Amino acid sequence: LASVVSASQAAVAAPPASAAALKLTILYGSHTGRSEGIAQKLAGVLEQKSISATVAAMDDYNPKQLEKEENVLIVVSTHGEGEPPEMAEDFHRFVTGKRAPKLPNLKFSVLALGDRSYKLFCKTGLDIDHALKKAGATELFPIVTCDVDYEDDANTWIEAVLEKLATSQPGTAALAPAATSENQAVIYNQKNPFRAAVIDKVKITGRDSDKEVYHVELDLAGSGIAYQPGDSLGVLADNPPALVDQIIETLKLNPEQNVAIKKTEFPLRVALRHQVEITLITRDVIQKYAEKTANAKVAEIVENDALLDQYLWGHDILDLLVEFPAELTAQELIDLLRPLPPRLYSISSSQEAVGDEVHITVATVRYQNKGRDREGAASTYLADRIEIDGEVPVYIERNPSFRLPENEETPIIMVGAGTGIAPFRAFVQHSEQQKRSGKSWLFFGERTFHSDFLYQIEWQKFLKKGVLNKIDLAFSRDQEQKIYVQHRLAEQQKEIFEWLQNGASFYLCGDMKQMAKDVQKTLLEIIQTQGGLTEEQARDYFKKLKKEKRFQADVY
């Protein structure tokens, strides 16, 4: 839904006459709510400057309107292998397509969100930037591309765009870069996290499970932090000390030697423990390593997509250093690595139910490859390196695209596999507090009933109280053949379709690569069969669900 932040609502002095005349549209498109968050922040800053902007999701915006626009600011992410996020698909196709109109009167700027670990970094943003220039539009400020640690770059872009709007529009010259209000409450974010004490940490998978999942409760008292069901918790973890030591030993470096990261000095050991990513390897690191070492074998990995894909799984920085030895100074090593990004966990509590606490559900990542034990950074940080009463640096990452329906009578269908159950615990807790009247139905999939039925007792209580109306379980390893959540959906297809026809919203959370794809495929089949539709009609039905925000996914 397009929302207009009106200048008249701003509690500031009347705008200069020409400021009111500035026509400005902010468009966002992303897979998570990140781009929307940035777009809304930008609109908020503009509002303080008495400039009203129309903010719209790309899939709510008719791109033919571009011809009538004067200033357009675009915040868009890239997804997977260079693809636009679904919400941006039509917009991207339109502006990059053959029939795109000329836009000589348009001024624009693009903020592209991406992940450098993928080959086609920020491709969607770059495509749109290129297409608009080709259409004759003028850039207000050159495109800014951001990696996973996007906050600084996004803020730089916001400030630059504000300044440009001021100078390109005589009469609004009073516009200055956003000043942060001093009497505002402290805002916790990636750069300035809140140190939340661990209240409780319980392993919720059984002794026989191959998995190790923890329920972690953190204390937000005194922070003023508010979150909503569907939001994520950003955790600023540290790296496994054993891996840090092995890297230092392999390169025969002095752990106490200082290295600089963005002008701040740290002893090497501290930098490797807290500042840079070492448990994963990304394409740009391999590329930089190839350049630095002039090693043809490493270069081959970067150039060959199949080899690269193979290498990106199950390898870390130490593998590179051991398999393709090179002499590096401490600073050279650090310069190869990227900042340690926060890890986002879907919040598994409702603040209305738990007050000053926030709960997360953490699957510990441990596996073996090439004869060496490997660990995920954040999950083992929470499982092994943080005790009860210890403090975890956290912040809230809003997810406006994963929200309970506004209408409290709307029925909800929730499908979660593994720790994908987390946000649904928050949804159901919230429904109980709000005395939500809409029916609810949960599908949950894990390996075994005996050891992996996460929050079993809670679901049983919710069922008994009628806060949850139905539950269907898919334990994949309790029998010969695999049973997954989508099989349960298919079994219940008549009723699922009835729920959808009655206006239900469908939520999906869990693994993106396989589960999410398979569930969506099954849902499409259900719509087609039960609705007596053609494949194309079923796709349109599904598209409409998405457009009405009645299909929402939180996948990772």
Binding ligand 2AM by CB under 6 A: which of 83, 335, 518, 525?
Answer: 518
Asked whether position 59 contacts ligand 2AM by CB under 6 A, the answer is no
Q: What is the amino acid identity at position 425?
A: R
Pairing outcome for strands 343-346 and 264-267: unpaired
Question: Across the chain, which distance is largest between two alpha carbons, in Å?
Answer: 73
CB-nearer residue toward ligand 2AM: 381 or 484: 484
| Residue 359: CB minimum distance to ligand 2AM, A | 19
At 221, list the tokens.
């008292």
Binding ligand 2AM by CB under 6 A: which of 58, 233, 276, 515?
Answer: 515
CB-nearer residue toward ligand 2AM: 461 or 482: 482
Nearest to 49 by CA among 182, 175, 164: 175
| Residue 418: CB minimum distance to ligand 2AM, A | 3
Task: Give 426-455 as a DSSP string.
Answer: HHHHHHHHHT--S-EEEEEEES-HHHH-TT
Q: Which of residues 66-105 bind ligand 2AM (CB under 6 A)?
A: none
CB-nearer residue toward ligand 2AM: 326 or 512: 512
| Residue 394: CB minimum distance to ligand 2AM, A | 25
Asked whether position 525 contacts ligand 2AM by CB under 6 A, the answer is no
CB-nearer residue toward ligand 2AM: 212 or 356: 212
| Residue 292: CB minimum distance to ligand 2AM, A | 38
Size of the site for ligand 2AM (CB under 6 A): 14
| Residue 204: CB minimum distance to ligand 2AM, A | 14
CB-nearer residue toward ligand 2AM: 225 or 515: 515
Region of 375 on the Ramachandran plot (φ > 0 left; ψ -120 to 50 alpha; else beta): beta
| Residue 447: CB minimum distance to ligand 2AM, A | 5
CB-nearer residue toward ligand 2AM: 219 or 554: 554
| Residue 212: CB minimum distance to ligand 2AM, A | 13
| Residue 345: CB minimum distance to ligand 2AM, A | 16
Say what the alpha-carbon torsion angle 173, 178, 183, 186 is, to the nearest 10 degrees: 180
At 371, list the tokens.
């004869």
Nearest to 344 by CA among 396, 393, 392: 396
CB-nearer residue toward ligand 2AM: 209 or 295: 209
Phi, psi of 278 (to 5 degrees): -130, -20
Binding ligand 2AM by CB under 6 A: which of 73, 417, 509, 555?
Answer: 417
Phi, psi of 472 (to 5 degrees): -130, 135
| Alpha carbon 134 to its chain's center | 31
| Residue 439: CB minimum distance to ligand 2AM, A | 24
129 near 145, Cβ under 8 Å? no
Instruction: Say how many C-beta atoms besides its own lie within 10 A of residue 331's C-beta.
Output: 15
| Residue 451: CB minimum distance to ligand 2AM, A | 11
At 384, list the tokens.
């092994």
From the number of C-beta atoms within 10 Å of its C-beta (0-12, 13-18, 19+), residue 443 rates as: buried
CB-nearer residue toward ligand 2AM: 394 or 474: 474
Pairing outcome for strands 264-267 and 24-29: unpaired
CB-nearer residue toward ligand 2AM: 271 or 417: 417
At 263, list the tokens.
């002008």
Q: Which of residues 429-488 bind ligand 2AM (CB under 6 A)?
A: 445-447, 476-477, 482, 484-486
488 near 474, Cβ under 8 Å? yes
The H or E element that residue 416 is part of is: strand 412-417
CB-nearer residue toward ligand 2AM: 289 or 551: 551
CB-nearer residue toward ligand 2AM: 68 or 521: 521
What is the C-alpha to C-alpha distance for residues 92 and 82, in angstroms, rounded to an integer? 12
Q: Which of residues 310-329 bind ligand 2AM (CB under 6 A)?
A: none
| Residue 360: CB minimum distance to ligand 2AM, A | 17
Instruction: Say how many C-beta atoms besides its own lie within 10 A of residue 261's C-beta.
Output: 16
Task: Give 81-146 as a DSSP string.
Answer: TTBPPGGGHHHHHHHHSTTPPP-TT-EEEEEEE--TTSSSTTHHHHHHHHHHHHTT-EESS--EEE
What is the C-alpha to C-alpha distance for residues 426 and 360, in angstroms, rounded to an integer? 10
CB-nearer residue toward ligand 2AM: 89 or 478: 478
| Residue 475: CB minimum distance to ligand 2AM, A | 7
What is the C-alpha to C-alpha distance for residues 534 and 511, in angstroms, rounded to an integer? 29
Asked whether position 418 contacts ligand 2AM by CB under 6 A, the answer is yes
Q: Which residues of the chain form contacts with ligand 2AM (CB under 6 A)?
A: 417-418, 445-447, 476-477, 482, 484-486, 514-515, 518
